[in-house]
């Protein structure tokens, strides 16, 4: 990523005896007020258009060495403003504006420790972090973060509990005051007059935040280290140090919330000097067959990742314009999930032959490294593993950590604790040196690190499509995918693996995909990922080749993106412009209720004629009884036209709009 336009960066410093100060958004609508109480406790409040959004709430940290919740004096203030536009390596937009006002509150504790609170105010939200400058004190052991949010009102809130394994849960909606679990972020809230999304940004060498309701406020619970005794240790920090940003998006409408880029703007610019090798891709793979039990990961009579099967997939991908093929189960270790060998294939996998074939065909191979949660052994061998893959022309790897508590170099730890966060960062940085992109499964929740390391292209952290293959609860309900764009996807790209074309699984008949075929096409647009997997088997795609044509055509890298319409848990309609082109792609999905989608085509260039190809549910379609009924229509349209489409129960639609030459 690179800075594109820089406008102004005025900076001035004030030293004052005042204990209260305010920073406002560039448009003046949003304001964050900071003050010190009489006992030196830092507190803050937030107003939007002179209406309280967050009432006065505490800030501060507890450490083994010091109580940093009070006892502070104000030693100075620093202000600066930023208005820049930077270009993404890949993303939902090519250009992103970073426009904010910043206030740094310089505090000195009675112990002599210096702590700054840095506040940034954007037109669509705010963020703050704790920063310790270079000073005499060198180490601190964090035992609690006292950050709280006392929201005015009681919004409907979508969340999942923090101990949900791998974040693979159904998002639960209820009033904030009724939430009794400790919750992981992001949290998405709907007020009477707007929306909020709470998350964190630039999570580095610190535990992931979690949130719980107590005494009328949301409070912070940092993921702890395991094995640190009765008084939980959350983080060991070396000064100077800055915590992740605590961020809250605040908008009047859902399209504004989805369009917010605060999280990316809070991360550092790209650290990879030459990022030309990082390419968004559509891929398919030897994967779905294992989940529907027609193939196995381990060697045997039903082994999926064989030379012959991979060659079949590679040739299919070449024929249909799919960029890459993933293979899971090609390497030793799947028999017991204990000792994976990431450089030794099974005897029925010829890595040299397949890598040469892939290069000849112009199709990439996506490697797969499942650790079974043994992050420590994986980390020790990273250079050897990535050198092996790069030597065979493999420049994208899907990693896996199937264990709720992983074995790190520090022993058994939560994957979202400080030790796990350090491991994932090590993987990303090492992979970048070998020009390898990462698709991280069983991750820590994304926080925008893809701006700094764009080789971190996508992550799981979601109850994805695989649950529809084997979950004994019958599979995810239709509404699940209409919640994700407003919750999990707010944290970053997600490897949901859309594109199933056969919904029944005779091996596990209790479960199925709750979707129509057109809903699966709509997901390719609605759920964003720069590594977008079309997950089904080649033979299933050839049952409906004219529907598969949309998957062949739809890109996964965008000039700009718009939420046209939506309601959390009910439906959503996205329109995205292909990067560097005038082509537009529109996707819509709905829950169990059939709906009529109305899409004004005002995003198109006025005066230009376009050819619209529409893939829509058939008139009799229904996710349970007639999931495969669909129609394809073509016609010319202009920016003055409106697209009206009926979505069946559990259904959706997809559209391609390209200029008429």
CATH assignment at residue 657 = 3.20.20.70
Q: Is 207's pLDDT higher than 70?
A: yes
At 283, is the pLDDT very low, low, confident or very high (cuts 50, 70, 90)?
Answer: very high
pTM: 0.96
Q: Is 497's pLDDT higher than 90?
A: yes
Instruction: Tell me how far apart the alpha carbons of residues 513 and 523 are, in angstroms, rounded to a whole number.
Output: 13
The predicted pLDDT at position 539 comes to 98
Q: Is 522's pLDDT higher than 50?
A: yes
Q: Is 268's pLDDT higher than 80?
A: yes
The residue-averaged pLDDT of 251-263 equals 98
Contacts 24+ apart (CB under 8 A), 208-211: 208/184, 208/416, 208/417, 208/421, 208/444, 208/445, 209/145, 209/185, 209/244, 209/246, 210/162, 210/182, 210/183, 210/184, 210/185, 211/149, 211/182, 211/183, 211/184, 211/185, 211/187
List residues bridging with 5 in a β-sheet: 85
Pairing of strands 114-122, 95-109: antiparallel
Give tens-digit pLDDT for 215-252. Answer: 999 999 999 999 877 679 999 999 999 999 999 999 99
Residues 6+ apart with CB under 8 A from 214: none
258 and 279, same domain (yes or no): no
Radius of gyration of the chain (CA): 25
Residue 538 lies in a domain: no
Name the domain boundary from 204, 231, 265. Answer: 265
Give tens-digit pLDDT for 285-341. Answer: 999 999 999 999 999 999 999 999 999 999 999 999 999 999 999 999 999 998 899
Q: What range defines the domain where residue 246 resides?
A: 2-265
Pairing of strands 630-637, 558-567: unpaired
430 and 563, same domain (yes or no): no
Q: Domain total for the chain? A: 3
The residue-averaged pLDDT of 554-562 equals 98
H helix count then E strand count, the chain? 13, 41
The residue-averaged pLDDT of 46-54 equals 94
Instruction: Tell me how far apart the alpha carbons of residues 53 and 152 are, in angstroms, rounded to a whole number.
Output: 5
Give tens-digit pLDDT for 596-614. Answer: 999 999 999 999 999 999 9
The predicted pLDDT at position 228 comes to 77
The predicted pLDDT at position 21 comes to 97
At 485, is the pLDDT very low, low, confident or very high (cuts 50, 70, 90)?
Answer: very high
Backbone φ, ψ for residue 600 (5° rounding): -65, 135
445 and 480, same domain (yes or no): no
Residue 59 lies in a domain: yes
Name the domain boundary from 461, 481, 508. Answer: 461
Backbone φ, ψ for residue 24 (5° rounding): -115, 160
254 and 275, same domain (yes or no): no
The residue-averaged pLDDT of 632-645 equals 98
Instruction: Tell me how far apart the alpha carbons of residues 3 and 11 are, in angstroms, rounded to a whole number.
Output: 19
Distances (CA, A) of 575 to 409, 520, 566, 571, 602: 44, 16, 12, 14, 11
Mean pLDDT of the chain, nearest integer = 96
328 is catalytic: no
Pairing of strands 364-370, 396-400: parallel
Backbone φ, ψ for residue 378 (5° rounding): -60, -45
Residue 537 lies in a domain: no
Pull the structure tokens for residue 66. 């010091």
Name the domain boundary from 231, 249, 265. Answer: 265
Pull the structure tokens for residue 255. 């399209």
Q: HEC states along 222-272?
A: ECCCCCCCCCCCCEEEECCEECCEEEEEEECCHHHHHHCCHHHHCCCCCCC
Which residue in this structure is represented by tokens 């701006």? 451
Pull the structure tokens for residue 447. 């926080």
Which residue in this structure is represented by tokens 């033979």? 539
Give tens-digit pLDDT for 160-178. Answer: 999 999 999 999 999 999 9
Residue 540 lies in a domain: no
175 and 308, same domain (yes or no): no
Distances (CA, A) of 402 to 288, 337, 373, 392, 399: 17, 9, 5, 26, 10
Residues 6+ apart with CB under 8 A from 538: 284, 312, 313, 316
Structural contact between residues 460 and 166, judged by C-beta atoms closer than 8 angstroms: yes
List residues bridging with 163 in a β-sheet: none
Residue 400 in 3-state DSSP? strand
Pairing of strands 72-87, 156-159: unpaired
Structural contact between residues 569 and 609, judged by C-beta atoms closer than 8 angstroms: no
Backbone φ, ψ for residue 305 (5° rounding): -85, 70
The predicted pLDDT at position 3 comes to 43
Residue 552 lies in a domain: no
Give tens-digit pLDDT for 341-364. Answer: 999 999 999 999 999 999 999 999
Instruction: Tell me how far apart the alpha carbons of residues 247 and 30 are, in angstroms, rounded to a whole number.
Output: 14
Cis peptide preceding 311, ω within 30 of 0? no
The predicted pLDDT at position 13 comes to 42
Q: Is 9's pLDDT higher than 60?
A: no
Instruction: Tell me how far apart the alpha carbons of residues 513 and 476 are, in angstroms, rounded to a whole number.
Output: 7
DSSP class of residue 167 equals: G
Which residue in this structure is represented by tokens 């952290």? 461
Greatest CA separation for the chain: 77
Which residue in this structure is represented by tokens 């968004």? 280
Instruction: Tell me how far apart the alpha carbons of residues 177 and 48 are, in angstroms, rounded to a whole number.
Output: 22
Residue 116 lies in a domain: yes
Residue 546 lies in a domain: no
410 and 425, same domain (yes or no): yes
Pull the structure tokens for residue 362. 């112009």
584 and 516, same domain (yes or no): yes
At 105, is the pLDDT very low, low, confident or very high (cuts 50, 70, 90)?
Answer: very high
The predicted pLDDT at position 81 comes to 98
254 and 389, same domain (yes or no): no
257 and 382, same domain (yes or no): no
Instruction: Tell me how far apart the alpha carbons of residues 142 and 64 are, in angstroms, rounded to a whole number.
Output: 7
Catalytic pick among 370, 466, 559, 656: 466
| Dihedral of the alpha carbons of 8, 11, 17, 20, in degrees to the nearest 10 | 30
Give tens-digit pLDDT for 190-201. Answer: 999 999 999 999
CB atoms within 10 A of CB 337: 16
Give tens-digit pLDDT for 395-445. Answer: 999 999 999 899 999 999 999 999 999 999 999 999 999 999 999 999 999
The predicted pLDDT at position 1 comes to 41
Work out the percent of the chain whose per-residue pLDDT is above 90. 95
Instruction: Tell me how far apart the alpha carbons of residues 452 and 444 are, in angstroms, rounded to a whole number.
Output: 16
CATH number at residue 17: 2.70.98.10
638 and 613, same domain (yes or no): yes
203 and 284, same domain (yes or no): no
Of the candidates 314, 315, 316, 369, the one whose C-alpha atom is nearest the C-alpha of residue 343 is 369
Structural contact between residues 559 and 94, judged by C-beta atoms closer than 8 angstroms: yes
The predicted pLDDT at position 230 comes to 64
Residue 318 lies in a domain: yes
Cis peptide preceding 209, ω within 30 of 0? no
The predicted pLDDT at position 18 comes to 55
The residue-averaged pLDDT of 524-539 equals 98
DSSP class of residue 514 equals: -
The predicted pLDDT at position 16 comes to 41
217 and 119, same domain (yes or no): yes
Residues 6+ apart with CB under 8 A from 335: 298
């Amino acid at each position: 990523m690179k800075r594109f336009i820089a406008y102004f960066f005025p900076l001035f410093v004030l030293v004052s005896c005042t204990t209260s100060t305010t920073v406002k958004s560039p448009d003046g609508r949003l304001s964050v007020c900071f003050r010190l109480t009489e006992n030196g406790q830092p507190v803050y409040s937030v107003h939007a258009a002179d209406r309280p959004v967050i009432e006065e709430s505490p800030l501060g940290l507890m450490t083994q060495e010091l109580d940093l919740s009070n006892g502070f004096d104000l030693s100075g203030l620093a202000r600066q403003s930023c208005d820049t536009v930077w270009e993404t390596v890949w993303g939902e937009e090519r250009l992103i504006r970073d426009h904010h006002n910043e206030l740094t509150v310089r505090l000195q504790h009675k112990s002599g420790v210096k702590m700054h609170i840095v506040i940034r105010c954007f037109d669509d939200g705010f963020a703050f972090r704790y920063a310790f400058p270079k000073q005499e004190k060198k180490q601190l052991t964090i035992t609690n973060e006292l950050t709280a949010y006392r929201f005015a009102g009681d919004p409907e809130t979508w969340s999942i509990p923090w101990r949900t394994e791998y974040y693979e849960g159904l998002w639960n909606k209820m009033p904030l005051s009724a939430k009794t679990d400790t919750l992981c972020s992001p949290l998405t809230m709907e007020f009477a007059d707007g929306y909020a999304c709470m998350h964190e940004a630039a999570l580095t060498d610190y535990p992931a935040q979690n949130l719980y309701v107590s005494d009328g406020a949301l409070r912070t619970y940092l993921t702890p280290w395991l094995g640190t005794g009765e008084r939980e240790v959350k983080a060991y920090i070396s000064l100077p140090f800055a915590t992740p940003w605590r961020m809250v998006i605040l908008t009047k409408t859902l399209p504004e919330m989805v369009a917010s880029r605060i999280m990316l703007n809070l991360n550092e610019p790209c650290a990879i000097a030459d990022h030309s090798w990082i390419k968004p891709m559509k891929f398919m793979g030897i994967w779905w067959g294992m989940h529907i039990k027609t193939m196995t990961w381990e060697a045997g009579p039903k082994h999926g990742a064989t030379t012959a099967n991979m060659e079949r997939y590679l040739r299919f991908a070449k024929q249909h314009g799919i960029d890459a093929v993933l293979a899971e189960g090609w390497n030793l270790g799947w028999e017991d999930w204990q000792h994976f060998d990431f450089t030794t294939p099974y005897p029925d996998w010829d890595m040299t032959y397949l890598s040469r074939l892939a290069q000849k065909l112009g199709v990439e191979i996506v490697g797969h490294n499942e650790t079974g949660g043994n992050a420590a052994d994986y980390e020790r061998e990273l250079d050897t593993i990535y050198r092996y893959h790069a030597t065979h022309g493999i420049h994208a790897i899907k990693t896996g950590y199937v264990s709720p508590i992983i074995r790190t170099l520090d022993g058994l730890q939560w994957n979202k604790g400080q030790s796990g966060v350090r491991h994932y960062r090590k993987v990303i940085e090492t992979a970048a040196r070998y020009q390898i992109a990462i698709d991280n499964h069983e991750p820590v929740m994304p926080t925008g690190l893809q701006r700094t390391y764009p080789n971190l292209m996508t992550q799981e952290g979601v109850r994805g499509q695989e649950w529809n293959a084997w979950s004994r609860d019958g599979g995810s309900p239709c509404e699940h995918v209409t919640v994700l764009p407003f919750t999990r996807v707010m944290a970053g790209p997600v490897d949901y693996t859309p594109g199933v074309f056969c919904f029944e699984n005779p091996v596990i008949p209790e479960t199925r995909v709750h979707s129509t075929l057109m809903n699966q096409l709509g997901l390719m647009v609605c759920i964003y990922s720069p590594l977008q997997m079309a997950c089904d088997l080649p033979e299933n795609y050839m049952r409906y080749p004219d529907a598969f044509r949309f998957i062949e055509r739809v890109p996964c890298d965008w000039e700009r993106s718009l939420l046209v319409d939506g309601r959390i848990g009910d439906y959503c309609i996205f329109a995205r412009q292909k990067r560097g082109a005038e082509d537009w792609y529109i996707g819509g999905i709905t829950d169990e209720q059939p709906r009529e989608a109305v899409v004004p085509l005002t995003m198109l260039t006025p005066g230009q004629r376009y050819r619209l190809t529409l893939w829509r549910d058939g008139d009799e379609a229904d996710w349970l009884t007639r999931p495969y009924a669909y129609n394809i229509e073509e016609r010319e349209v202009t920016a003055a036209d409106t697209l009206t489409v009926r979505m069946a129960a559990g259904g959706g639609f997809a559209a391609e709009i390209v200029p008429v030459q």
